[in-house]
């Protein structure tokens, strides 16, 4: 449900100044319990006005635009902090005001917000809201949230754009304990398709992308088996996408630093077991908890990201894990906490700061308040302006990123809502949103055909509301149009399907690109000492990030510059019909339609879907990159001559022909 039934559409930069209180939609699977105890404490962020955001946006876009003479000329973080921060004295005014309220306040290192800890009662009075306790339907997490937009005190209006941190609505919950029986279409699915499942899922009326592994795996027997699921092993997807060609030339990610933003932990023993199985060098990631405290317990997300990267870019200079926590060993998955974690990754010395960031988290725009995204947007803009590539998983629930969980006692069913919404932060105009596909491989592991990820199987028959229905285990790459962001400049020349997602015309479209995400057969991975198969755009995003690390290393070796914010280049290549077929594998088979699963009782579903078609579509974006060919075109850009591309097919100086 959108605020006041109004479509919220913004330009690239978010500048939110709300003068009237507005109702806020809560997740449909959250129960209101009671008003928040007045003596409980909350940490509140006062986001400072930064009056030069428009100028910073223009510089960031020029540096990322292959047709601009400023292409590749990124700013240093020091320049950004010195030139594009708040007005002199603004932070001091906010700190003085809070100290007058007998609160301790501090300015963050990136000079974007002032933070103070205070009792709930004082926060409610200061922001003119009432905070309530909520609980997710499955009882796994409780959080505080207001029912209206926090108001800025009159004395702070000249200095503050928004008050955030009071809304702790989780963007995404960590996956539940392995002992539970879970159908999790939005994230990790604990049991994927076997051959019998594929037969059961056969339905001529509904597309199903589930496939078997017809390629040639390699590795230790346990890793090849993947718990009896026979998933793809690293040699298969590396060869399918041409990434092994980079490895053969000595490009393994050396010189690149890659950061992961996470809400669960990992076991080093699982990462070591994976690398040993596939003959890869061991990696020991650095770990930072934000704002501090003990590390998070091992889960399924971080270890998946680490294993994909260990195979894709085994020579990274640094592999950094930043965990968003509550300071006491639990995850903090609300938008503001994730933004603070992202800022912590940026707030490092230049020789330690990441060159690439991968985020496999996200949540339904319609269930999260727009105001809370302001801090993340400013962090992402600063990453773009300084040449840091950011890749975000588009989501795993098909045509809608909104999901709900049904507690059925012994089972927890996760499904998607039939409402229009894409997933944030994938919809941010400063990130590359990575969608999902599946691969049918030839015996030599080359791609026979690549299709849209939308796999499902019937898990059981259940009786609900007096009717017998099929319980369907499902997953599909999320794609659609943003309700928050208007179409960025770099996307405006692209023909976006206008029949796909309801009322949002001229809005930011996702995904931008897509890679292997189906869990049938999926990726092999090792979790808690047990081999299994796994899928999701959570795997596709780090795969794309690792591929860019290889290309960055190769570009620097050829006296070029890092790719930085990739989208302007992605779309210039895509809009050139001659080049598009060389650098992309256009996925034209399948769709990510899931409404028939969302409405099992035969209710009329919404009239929107994302069907694959030639060119750009809302199922897989431009399709999957042919990475060697993509690199060849990228290294030919000559901004001094305003030359985007050499003639198609001119490969005389091809790195890969040497």
50 occurs within a structural domain: no
Q: What is the pLDDT of residues 459-470, one digit of tens each?
A: 666 665 566 666
- Count Cβ neighbours within 10 Å for each residue of 146-166 and write b for 16 or more, e otherwise: bbbbbbbbeebeebbbbbbbb
Q: What is the pLDDT of residues 378-398, one digit of tens each?
A: 999 999 999 999 999 999 888
User: Which range, of 179-193, 425-439, 592-606, averages the lowest pLDDT?
Assistant: 179-193
For 551, the domain range is 181-641
User: Which range, of 446-455, 488-497, 582-591, averages the lowest pLDDT?
Assistant: 488-497
593 occurs within a structural domain: yes
| Closest residue by Cα to residue 521 from 299, 203, 189 | 189
- The total number of structural domains in the chain stands at 1
- Count Cβ neighbours within 10 Å for each residue of 179-215 and write b for 16 or more, e otherwise: eeebbbbbbbbbbbbbeebbeebeeeeebbbbbebeb
584 occurs within a structural domain: yes
Mean pLDDT to the nearest integer, 610-615: 89
Task: Write down the pLDDT at residue 169.
Answer: 86
Mean pLDDT to the nearest integer, 642-657: 40
Task: Write down the pLDDT at residue 342.
Answer: 97
User: Which range, of 33-47, 373-387, 597-611, averages the lowest pLDDT?
Assistant: 597-611
Q: Which of 3-12, 57-66, 184-193 has the highest mean pLDDT?
A: 57-66
**How many C-beta atoms surround the C-beta of residue 434 within 10 A?**
33
Q: How far is CA 167 from CA 30, 143, 150, 336, 372, in A?
A: 13, 8, 9, 8, 8
| Cβ contact 361:428 at 8 Å | no
What's the pLDDT band for 502 if we cut at 50, 70, 90? very low
What's the pLDDT band for 485 if we cut at 50, 70, 90? very high
Q: What is the pLDDT of residues 329-354, one digit of tens each?
A: 999 999 999 999 999 999 999 999 99
C-alpha 556: how far from its chain's center? Answer: 27
Helix/strand/coil percent split, the chain, to 5: 25, 25, 45
Task: Write down the pLDDT at residue 602.
Answer: 42
Mean pLDDT to the nearest integer, 50-63: 97
Instruction: Please confirm whether the linkage preceding 634 is cis (ω < 30° from 0).
Output: no
- Count Cβ neighbours within 10 Å for each residue of 579-598 and write b for 16 or more, e otherwise: bbebbbbbbbbbbbbbbebb
| Closest residue by Cα to residue 608 from 619, 623, 621 | 619
Task: Write down the pLDDT at residue 39.
Answer: 94
Mean pLDDT to the nearest integer, 87-104: 97
What is the value of pTM for the model shown?
A: 0.89
57 occurs within a structural domain: no
Q: What is the pLDDT of residues 193-224, one digit of tens each?
A: 333 344 444 566 678 888 999 999 999 999 99
pLDDT at 590 over 80: yes
Distance from C-alpha of 423 to C-alpha of 414, rounded to nearest angstrom: 16
528 occurs within a structural domain: yes
238 occurs within a structural domain: yes
Task: Write down the pLDDT at residue 532.
Answer: 95
Q: Which helix (H) or strand (E) holds 54?
A: helix 53-64
21 occurs within a structural domain: no
What's the pLDDT band for 11 if we cut at 50, 70, 90? very low
Q: What is the pLDDT of residues 401-435, one digit of tens each?
A: 776 655 555 555 556 566 667 889 999 999 999 99
Task: Write down the pLDDT at residue 459.
Answer: 63
What's the pLDDT band for 233 if we cut at 50, 70, 90? very high
Radius of gyration of the chain (CA): 24
pLDDT at 529 over 60: yes
pLDDT at 477 over 50: yes
User: Which range, of 179-193, 215-229, 289-303, 451-465, averages the lowest pLDDT?
Assistant: 179-193
Percent above pLDDT 90 for the chain:
68
618 occurs within a structural domain: yes
Distance from C-alpha of 173 to C-alpha of 238, rounded to nearest angstrom: 30
Mean pLDDT to the nearest integer, 532-548: 96
Q: What is the largest CA-CA distance in the chain?
A: 71
What's the pLDDT band for 183 if we cut at 50, 70, 90? very low
What's the pLDDT band for 372 if we cut at 50, 70, 90? confident
User: Which range, of 162-166, 311-315, 393-397, 545-549, averages the lowest pLDDT?
Assistant: 393-397
| Cβ contact 258:315 at 8 Å | no
Domain harbouring 368, CATH code: 3.40.50.200
Kindly report the average pLDDT of the chain as a whole number.
Answer: 84
């Amino acid at each position: 449900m959108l605020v006041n039934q109004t479509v919220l559409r913004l330009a690239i930069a978010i500048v939110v100044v709300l003068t009237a209180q507005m109702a806020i939609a809560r997740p449909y699977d959250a129960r209101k319990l009671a008003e928040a105890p007045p003596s409980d404490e909350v940490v509140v962020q006062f986001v400072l006005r930064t009056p030069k955001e428009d100028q910073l946006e223009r510089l960031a876009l020029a540096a990322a635009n292959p047709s601009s003479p400023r292409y590749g000329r990124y700013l240093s973080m020091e320049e950004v902090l010195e030139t594009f921060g708040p007005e002199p004295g603004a932070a001091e005014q906010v700190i003085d005001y809070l100290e007058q309220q007998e609160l301790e306040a501090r300015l963050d290192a990136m000079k974007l917000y002032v933070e103070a800890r205070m009792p709930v009662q004082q926060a409610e009075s200061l922001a003119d809201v009432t905070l309530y306790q909520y609980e997710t339907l499955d009882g796994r997490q409780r959080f505080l949230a207001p029912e209206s937009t926090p108001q800025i005190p009159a004395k702070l209006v000249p200095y503050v754009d928004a008050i955030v941190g009071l809304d702790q609505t989780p963007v995404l919950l960590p996956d539940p304990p392995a002992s539970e029986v879970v159908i999790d279409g939005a994230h990790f699915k604990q049991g994927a398709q076997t051959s019998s499942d594929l037969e059961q899922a056969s339905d001529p009326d509904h597309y199903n992308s589930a496939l078997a592994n017809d390629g040639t795996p390699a590795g230790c027997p346990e890793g090849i088996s993947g718990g009896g699921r026979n998933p793809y092993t690293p040699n298969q997807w590396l060869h399918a996408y041409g990434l092994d060609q980079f490895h053969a030339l000595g490009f393994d990610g050396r010189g690149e630093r890659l950061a992961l933003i996470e809400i669960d932990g990992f076991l080093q023993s699982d990462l070591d077991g994976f690398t040993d199985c596939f003959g890869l060098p061991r990696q020991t990631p650095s770990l930072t908890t934000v704002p501090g405290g003990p590390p998070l317990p091992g889960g399924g997300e971080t270890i998946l990201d680490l294993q994909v990267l260990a195979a894709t870019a085994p020579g990274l200079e640094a592999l950094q894990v930043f965990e968003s926590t509550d300071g006491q060993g639990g995850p903090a998955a609300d938008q503001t906490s994730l933004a603070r974690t992202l800022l912590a990754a940026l707030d490092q010395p230049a020789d330690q700061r990441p060159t690439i960031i991968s985020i496999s988290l996200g949540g339904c725009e319609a269930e999260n308040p727009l105001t809370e995204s302001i801090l993340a947007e400013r962090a992402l803009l600063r990453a773009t302006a300084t040449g840091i590539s950011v890749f975000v998983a588009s989501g795993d629930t098909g045509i809608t990123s909104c999901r709900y969980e049904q507690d059925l006692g012994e089972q927890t069913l996760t499904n998607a809502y039939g409402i229009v919404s894409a997933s944030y932060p994938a919809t941010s105009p400063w990130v590359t949103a990575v969608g999902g596909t599946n691969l049918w491989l030839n015996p030599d592991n080359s791609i026979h055909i690549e299709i849209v990820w939308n796999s499902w199987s019937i898990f059981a028959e259940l009786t609900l509301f007096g009717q017998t229905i099929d319980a369907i285990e499902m997953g599909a790459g999320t794609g659609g149009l943003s309700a928050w962001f208007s179409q960025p400049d770099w996307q405006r020349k692209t023909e976006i399907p206008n029949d796909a997602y309801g009322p949002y015309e001229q809005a930011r479209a996702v995904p931008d690109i897509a890679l292997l995400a189906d869990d049938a057969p999926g990726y092999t991975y090792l979790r808690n000492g047990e081999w299994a198969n796994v899928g999701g755009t959570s795997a596709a995003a780090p795969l794309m990030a690792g591929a860019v690390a290889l290309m960055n290393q190769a570009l620097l070796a050829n006296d070029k510059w890092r790719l930085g914010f990739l989208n302007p280049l992605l779309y210039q290549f895509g809009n050139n019909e001659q080049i598009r077929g060389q650098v992309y594998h256009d996925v034209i088979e399948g769709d990510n339609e899931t409404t028939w699963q969302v409405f099992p009782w035969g209710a009329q579903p919404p009239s929107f879907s994302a069907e694959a078609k030639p060119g750009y579509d809302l199922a897989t974006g431009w399709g999957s990159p042919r990475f060697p060919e993509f690199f060849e075109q990228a290294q030919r850009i000559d901004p001094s001559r305003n030359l985007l591309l050499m003639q198609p097919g001119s490969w005389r100086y091809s790195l890969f022909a040497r």
